[in-house]
Amino acid sequence: MDGQKLNRRGVEALIRAGAMDGWGTPRAVLMASLDTAMEGAAQYQKAKASQQESLFAGLESLPMAPALADAQPWTLTETLRQERETLGFYLSGHPLESLRESLAGMGVTPLNAITAGQSALLAGLVVARRSTRTKRGDRMYFLTLDDGFARVECIAFADAWAAAGKMGEGEDPVLVYGEVSEDSYAGGLRVSAQRLLTLEAARAELAAMLCLDLFKDAPVEEIAHTVQRLPGNTPLRFRVHLDPLLVTLRAGGSMTLSFRPPSTLVHNVISLDRARQGARRPA
């Protein structure tokens, strides 16, 4: 590799975008090895130039390829973030893929299934945002929502925006309830947002019940302790997997919990169980 033709920034972009995945080396390892690789490439070019000046130089004098560094592979979330920062879109998947079942349980309509004239609950990532002021001086926000199936522009006025709290562009999903209409200016559809919710707020408001799947090696006492530290109003149900039986237990009326922030509860329970349990709204 000639460092004068392809600099460090260019190599980083290729790695982050997945252009070197064909080598079979994780992107994180390639990034961690980049300094050594660039130094090795410079030494190689220098040695090669020296050989061209001597008729008696042998190929064995060229420097060996440097060893790869040790690094933990990126998570899917990190991989997707790097792709979006480099390319402006995702290649390896979409951040909402792991949330499809949960969002469907909340009644979310995929963006590629909405039609003009309907009221719908939508979810996606805010991939673009801008604001302006109306003739009356009120602030109006334009959000581009992306759910991995399609994109749609949502219009939110100051009251809906203020009620939603702080949110912006990033990897945290946003839920929008609003009216779908034809976009006579740009074509396609647009949504007039009546409510904006973060995913955590939507879960806390819309979850009818939290269901935990427990397997035979689940540390029940630790899970119970975790649940008791999050008191709230959401009913709790357990599905106990006792192969070949599946036993469903509804927790007593005094055992209800807070579903905010749900990510804390789910992370703690999954870490404790070390099996395959999850949390979802039952059908």
> Domains, the chain, ranges and CATH?
8-87 (no CATH), 97-203 (2.40.50.140), 207-280 (no CATH)
**Residue 46: what pLDDT?**
76
Query: C-alpha distances in angstroms, 249 versus 2, 3, 91, 238, 246?
Result: 65, 64, 41, 5, 10
139 CB contacts (<8 Å, ≥6 apart)? 131, 132, 133, 157, 158, 161
pTM: 0.59
Q: Order across the sheet with 279-280: list the strands.
A: 245-250, 236-242, 210-214, 279-280
Dihedral angle of Cα 68, 72, 78, 84, to the nearest 10 degrees: 10
Mean predicted lDDT score pLDDT of the chain: 78
pLDDT tens digits, residue range 66-110? 788 888 999 888 898 899 889 988 899 888 988 898 888 888 999
Q: What is the pLDDT of residue 42?
A: 76
Contact of 193 with 220, CB cutoff 8 Å? no
More confident residue, 101 or 190: 190
Q: What is the pLDDT of residues 122-181, one digit of tens each?
A: 999 988 889 899 888 888 999 999 999 999 999 998 888 877 766 655 567 899 999 999
**Per-residue pLDDT band at 278 (split at 50, 70, 90):** very low
